[in-house]
Structure 1
Amino acid sequence: MATFWLARTSAVQGLKVWQRQDQQLLHICQSMSAVDKGQLAKLRKQTGFSISNCKNALEMHGNDFEKAVLSEEQLKNLVTSDGKTLGDLLALTIGTIGENMSLPRAVQIVGSPGLNLVGYSHPSAPEENLTTGKFGVILALKTPGVLSEIARQLCVHVIGMNPKTVGTLSDPKADNPDEETTFVHQEFLIDPTVTVGEVLQEENIEIVDFIRFESGEQLIVN
């Protein structure tokens, strides 16, 4: 089972993608309870995550806001697979690049059977168990075949085109293609002559969800 952590920091090269095996913050999961709309709106504002991810987090934790989102201090205390905490890794990175950094939000997506997770950061600077970059994406998808280069290209598209929702082919399209925010309706960044939806149909891929992080992004906190 693949597990990825992705966390935003304040430094330009501070976007992290960690692989680990436990601890859950926001992730794709089966619905467990009805979601309180007030808590959903609050979580959406505080984290900046998509409605679907916030809904899933609240469902899993029975509408308990404090359990659905971790504070910056709690994030720092999470232990990675090599025994270090995220705070330790943050301090080591600060020492390496010589810039101050913070850890205001993170997300973990746990891949269930049949669900593939693809992590990507740009510009990419691989280190042991993590990559760094200004932008980061975790893409959750399903495909009966073997993951190919197209999965990485879809991550590149999310970074470059910044879709807001996955959407379906039956959803209405924006009047102006340049203002399209639905993933499946956007012109494919790698080949603008086709849409993402057409690429997904051709490759027999279903996009379940995605998370996009950008170093320096502004979060709205109540």
Structure 2
Amino acid sequence: MLRRACHFIDLGKSFCSSVSVNKGSLAKLRKSTGYTFANCKKALQLHNNDITQAEKWLREQAQQMGWAKATKLEGRPTLHGLVAVCVDRATGIMVEVNSETDFVARNNNFHSLVETVASTCFHFMDKKDFDLPLAKFQLGQEELKGLVAGDGRPLADHLALAMGQLGENLTVRRAACLRAGPGAELVGHAHPSHPSQPSQAGAVLRGKYAALVALQGSSPALRQLGRQLCQHVVGMNPAKFGEPGVDEPAADPDEERCMIHQEFLLDPSITVGQLLAVNGASVLGFERFECGEALGSSSVEPPVNLHAQIGG
């Protein structure tokens, strides 16, 4: 539900006072949209108490105001925000959405925008077919804004509306999309974790950090191992996974950036490489997001023919 005090209507001479507003309809419209009493009354008067048309008109007005405010706010630095991860077995995505202040990043309307961006990316990725053990690529700001959400509107419209509501510049900064082939499993984790639907597959987890890990193995505890490895990736920030026999361990364990040689976060008595060997598992790839980090440090690389693979 949208909750705001949004004064986008001119309540002067254009007010249609000749139409009597049904109190039940007014209460229902306010509950379903969260707009002010005056805005809802105006909408019902303009549409003869037709709640559906009144709600549509309200959202159109809000969208126009959102675009107007968004234009004024563009360019202001967005150094705060959240990252979110959404995974369901073979499909996983991470997104970063930024705000100007941490105060807005804690707002429920901002959380709703983050979840809309994450869910839209997930459904977009989930419809794609890849003939690869692990397909992975990134989407930038412009590609993200062009994706169409479940309500039929592009994310650019959702972004503008949120900017109008919250009064800050907001950016959909980036997304990492992974799709695992047969026999592989994707696991995601956010820290600190704030799930939208913790009991459902495909739940959106929000935090300041997030990780995705793709792994293979026959262990019945593979998903649990994957969750632990996600925690390791978030906490230890490895630069790469590494190749046994090729990548030598660092002289100082505290400086180790190769994942297989790092001390396992949850049990420093063993390395990640030893943990995987004991569990008969292997890591196909991983990705980590930290809100506000410098770009260019991501482990995900776009496929050679990006548009051919994600087009449509």
TM-score, length basis structure 1: 0.68
Query: Aligned partners of 1:101, 1:76: CA distance in 2, in Å?
Result: 12
Query: Aligned partners of 1:198, 1:101: CA distance in 2, in Å?
Result: 43
Look up the equivalent residue of 1:142 and give its one-letter code: Q
Query: Aligned partners of 1:125, 1:92: CA distance in 2, in Å?
Result: 23
Structure 1 segment 1-222 matched on structure 2, within 5 A: 2-11=90-99, 18=119, 20-23=122-125, 30=132, 70-79=139-148, 85-87=154-156, 100-128=169-197, 129-146=203-220, 147-170=222-245, 171-219=247-295
1:110–1:143 CA distance, 2 compared to 1 (3 A): same
Query: Aligned partners of 1:177, 1:186: CA distance in 2, in Å?
Result: 7
Query: Aligned partners of 1:130, 1:90: CA distance in 2, in Å?
Result: 18
Q: Are 2:217 and 2:280, in contact at CA under 8 Å, matched by a contact in 1?
A: yes
Q: What is the alpha-carbon root mean square deviation over aligned residues?
A: 3.4
% same residue: 38
Q: Are 1:20 and 1:81, in contact at CA under 8 Å, matched by a contact in 2?
A: no
CA apart distance, 1:204: 1.2
Q: Are 1:184 and 1:195, in contact at CA under 8 Å, matched by a contact in 2?
A: yes
Query: Aligned partners of 2:167, 2:176: CA distance in 1, in Å?
Result: 25
Query: Aligned partners of 1:120, 1:199: CA distance in 2, in Å?
Result: 19
Q: Are 1:77 and 1:86, in contact at CA under 8 Å, matched by a contact in 2?
A: yes
CA apart distance, 1:172: 0.8
CA apart distance, 1:4: 1.6
Q: Deviations over 1:5-30 (max 9, x none)?
A: 21122246578754734349xxx964
Unaligned residue ranges in structure 2 (runs of 5+):
1-88, 106-110, 198-202, 297-312
Q: Deviations over 1:86-129 (max 9, x none)?
A: 45665787799987532221111012111100011111101144
Q: Are 2:185 and 2:215, in contact at CA under 8 Å, matched by a contact in 1?
A: yes
Structure 1 consecutive aligned stretches of length 4 or more whose deviation exceeds 2 Å:
9-24, 28-31, 79-101, 145-150
CA apart distance, 1:196: 0.6
Query: Which is higher, the Rg of structure 1 or of structure 2?
Result: 2
Q: Are 1:142 and 1:207, in contact at CA under 8 Å, matched by a contact in 2?
A: yes
1:174–1:166 CA distance, 2 compared to 1 (3 A): same
Look up the equivalent residue of 1:120 and give its one-letter code: H
Q: Deviations over 1:45-66 (max 9, x none)?
A: xxxxxxx98xx75xxxxxxxxx
Aligned residue pairs total 185
TM-score, length basis structure 2: 0.50
Query: Aligned partners of 1:71, 1:201: CA distance in 2, in Å?
Result: 36
Look up the equivalent residue of 1:149 and give its one-letter code: Q
1:217–1:197 CA distance, 2 compared to 1 (3 A): same
Query: Aligned partners of 1:110, 1:100: CA distance in 2, in Å?
Result: 32
- The structure whose RCO (Cα within 8 Å, separation 6+) is larger is 1
Look up the equivalent residue of 1:22 and give its one-letter code: F
